[in-house]
Chain A
């Protein structure tokens, strides 16, 4: 899909980095979930956009420790979803991906007073229909769903096709695309935490991504979540 290289994109991307870094600090250092924004001040639009982009991942530090989504973050996410309704994607496929990302955020919001009812998006095609390469690319875009306590049709597909996830991860590593690789590795770690057999030795893959990754807070957050899913809360340090 075409990428909008504009000052606005730079502004939103920088805000995504800041919010991802904050979430990562909470996940790694166990810092208190200090509010991303002060309820008494005006929330900048770029921060709302960042919250909208990260969606369900905002709750990762809490879900990975067995806690429920916190109210302040939920309130901010609900505001972000109201300020930015489902964005206009360039293709039907991208619309489906965003639909499922919103489904995950909606499911988590539904556990708080800020939830609103929503319907499930259309089902995604499996690897037998579109091939493991295209399917694994789509699963990488849906990595935010790979969180404890979230379960649905996308998770069923991940459980049923761990070999395709492993193939996709290896393909991305060979293509030197650690950003996509870490998202697929996260799905594999989720499947492992779910009790599925590992189809790929994940530890060296995650080590390699740690050294050769793009170093952004967003990717580091994905890496930290994958490690937490793989090893549990005792071993999630990535920096």
Chain B
């Protein structure tokens, strides 16, 4: 015997047109629109690097007090 399923029918609030449009958009997906590579900003990287190095740099040696 062939398998049969009981299925929901489209409700009035959810129009068949909207369902069909939604289905079409899922079946035919276009390629990604946004594809720009991140822009390289050397000056920005330099500022961040400088700040990081200043923060991370070890303090200068202190002289021990002489008697």
Contact = CB atoms under 8 A, between A and B. Distances in A.
Contact of A4 (B2, B21, B35): B21
A111 interface: no
A53 B27 contact: yes
Interface string B1-27: 011111111100010011111111111
A162 interface: no
Given A4-B18, A175-B32, A179-B29, A39 B23 contact: no
A87 B24 contact: yes
Interface residues of A, number: 48
Interface in A202-217: none
B52 interface: no
A75 B20 contact: no
B30 to A, nearest CB: 6
Interface string A1-29: 11110101100110010000000000000
A198 interface: no
Contacts of A101: 27
B28 interface: yes
Interface in A54-79: 55, 71-72, 75-76, 79
Contacts of B25: 1-4, 9
Given A16-B26, A140-B31, A180-B32, A39 B4 contact: yes
A3 B6 CA distance: 30
Interface of B: 2-10, 14, 17-32, 35, 37
